[in-house]
Structure 1
């Protein structure tokens, strides 16, 4: 017999989706939404009018519904954390490089 608890992803196990599925799935859903928004803002967001931004976020939230079901057994939230860390490092390095170029241009 297969033990479901052994196959859960980290966040699904953290939120105890196997013991309390209703609350656990909501927490997993909210986590995936927040991480998806962070990754979107860090890597892909452009300055858009408010209505277009609203449409993008609605579709992002709708897509996160599907990702949540995958996230019970697959490392979806964990992958989003890795993506956000990589994008944060990229943004920091890009900012440092621009500051260095600005300083080199002045002197």
Structure 2
């Protein structure tokens, strides 16, 4: 069995099999960006700057482990789906609040 057949979409998109160093960095950055988006859309609360910095540092460190899993498991793809679901949720919530405020006012 060829390793390239088992790569996930993002791993094969970044050609990790041909250029592993650049491919892993690109996958790492992709996972960090998607994780930050999912965190901001679904879980972030208003925190002081010091606590936010600590959270983002720990989030970036955790993404290191996720990157190694992301080569053969659909980590980045799952984060894309989670981000899309949270975006749809936020849009619908905003529309619902806007419709509720116009009914009351």
With normalisation by structure 1, the TM-score equals: 0.97
For the pair 1:43 / 2:42, whether they are aligned, the reply is yes
Number of aligned positions between the proteins = 105
- Structure 2 unaligned residues grouped into runs of 5+: none
- Structure 1 unaligned residues grouped into runs of 5+: none
1:105 maps to 104
Measured in 2, the distance between the counterparts of 1:22 and 1:99 equals 47
1:5 maps to 4
Question: Cα RMSD between the aligned structures?
Answer: 0.4
Q: C-alpha displacement at 1:38, in angstroms?
A: 0.2
Q: C-alpha displacement at 1:90, in angstroms?
A: 0.2
1:90 maps to 89
Moved runs in structure 1, 4+ residues, more than 6 A?
none
With normalisation by structure 2, the TM-score equals: 0.99
